[in-house]
Amino acid sequence: MRAGFSKIDITPPLDRIDAYGIGYWYQRAVRFTGVRDPLFVRTLAFEKQIIISIDSIFDSFGFVLDASARIAAALDIPEANIFIACTHTHSSPLIDRNNTRRGVEYGTFVADRIVASAVEAARNSVDATVSICAGRVPGVLYNRRPLLANGRIAELHAPISDSVVDPGPINDTMTILKFQNQGGELLGGLCHFGIHGVAVQCSELISGDCMGRAIQAAEQAFGNVVLLHLNGPCGDIDPALMGDDRSLDIMTARLTEGIFAVASKESRPVFTTEPRPLGSGTFHARRRETHPPALLEHKRQILSKISDAAVRHHSGAGYDAFLLAEEQAVSELPPQFDIPYQILRCGDLVLVGIAGEVFTCFGLALQAARPDLLILPVGLTGGANGYLPATEMFAQGGYEVACARWCPIAPGETEKLFAQIAAELQAEAA
């Protein structure tokens, strides 16, 4: 097939753009003052398909729709053939969900570079062969929703206690697609691995976090190639170490070693048929119910009188005030909202992109739906609709299922979404 790659820097010029990231509940918008390491948009163009990876927490700016329309026009391809996913690094610009619109111009800045990267990748296309390899990368993942004996989950990032009855599932399998030219030289590739970009977070320094750093290190070691990161289900998955620069360095080193180890494994050919999109679908999800306005106002009045001298990151009055404001915002949303998804098949490889934060259990279930295929679920593709939890998670509690714009979906709707996707996969001829 014909394949080409491109990589363009999308680090915001802080002298011209006031970029803001995500802080803790009591300080949602944090202004970036420097760059720990740069952000990039990376593109693979092959056989009229475009796959794009963006170092971004998610698309709060609208650059996905903007860029998709412009790429389709520039390359004369259907928008359904354009697969755009965010890596979910928390140390990247954000608007709205962090309660600010400052830095909104970053959206156009990124969209322009996404389009330029797609055009450049198409222009760089050469004859190529494709192979695939996979392997476990142990010691890098932690399920942040360990279930306690009382049926609840442990407080986010709290030390694990002896009462944990289920540590939660993880999927530490990394899959790498390698594209080589006719001379056997590596052109670039795709790396599929699910991990939250939070080895450092709520920081004033821009960063691709541990996975972004590992990808850059691997690109340089492989000869300055382009390696896209497609983030797998990670709604409940954190780095094993997190919170400071030391954790970032350790996790980066472990992930870099993991990429090298997997890439060195025996590969097999993967594309036995011409790549083709199976379609872009939409699931119409119900919004969750909220408390009556009078009760929300009563809670607000009570919280306004509370002084929390020792605000904690994931509990206390600061967190309660955050949840109250978020529930109010959810109550004003339409009763239904759309969750788009994309399915792209290349031989026995299938990419399933979903516009939300997918949990490990649903990723594993999708893969089990068609064991004859290699299904790679990719979160935050084509948009962002918050966490997509399982029904039982709502009773277990935790930040991910709090009534907030980060989780506006009603219980039971996620199962319907994935049943719809699984049905499409089952209907597809082997």
**Are 43 and 157 in a shared domain?**
yes
**Are 181 and 326 in a shared domain?**
no
Work out the pLDDT band at 303, boundaries 50, 70, 90.
confident
Work out the pLDDT band at 213, boundaries 50, 70, 90.
very high
**Are 347 and 322 in a shared domain?**
no
User: What is the model's pLDDT at position 312?
Assistant: 61
User: What is the model's pLDDT at position 18?
Assistant: 94
DSSP string of 321-361? HHHHHHHHHHHTS-SEEEEEEEEEEETTEEEEEESSEE-HH
Total of domains in the chain: 2
Is residue 386 over pLDDT 60? yes
**Are 134 and 272 in a shared domain?**
yes
- CB-hemisphere CA count at 13 Å for 297? 3
**Are 248 and 299 in a shared domain?**
no
- Residues 155, 159, 163, 165: what is their CA dihedral angle, to the nearest 10 degrees? 80
Work out the pLDDT band at 63, boundaries 50, 70, 90.
very high
Distance of CA 48 to the CA centre of its chain: 24
- CB-hemisphere CA count at 13 Å for 76? 0
Beta bridge partners of 3: 46, 126
Task: State pLDDT tens for residues 398-420.
Answer: 989 999 999 999 999 999 999 99
Is residue 321 over pLDDT 90? no
Is residue 383 over pLDDT 70? yes
**Are 112 and 240 in a shared domain?**
yes
**Are 326 and 401 in a shared domain?**
no
The values of phi and psi at residue 187, to 5°, are: -95, -35
Work out the pLDDT band at 279, boundaries 50, 70, 90.
low
**Are 138 and 159 in a shared domain?**
yes
- Provide, rounded to the nearest whole percent, the portion of the chain with pLDDT above 70: 93
**Are 266 and 302 in a shared domain?**
no
Beta bridge partners of 192: 175, 230
Is residue 43 over pLDDT 70? yes
Ranked by mean pLDDT, which of 130-139, 291-300, 341-350 comes out on top?
A: 130-139
**Are 304 and 183 in a shared domain?**
no
* Model pTM score: 0.95
User: What is the model's pLDDT at position 141?
Assistant: 97
Q: Where are the beta strands (DSSP E) in 109-172?
A: 126-136, 141-143, 147-148, 164-166
* Ramachandran assignment for 361, one of left (phi > 0), alpha (psi -120 to 50 degrees), beta (any other): alpha
Domain extent, residue 319, equals 288-332
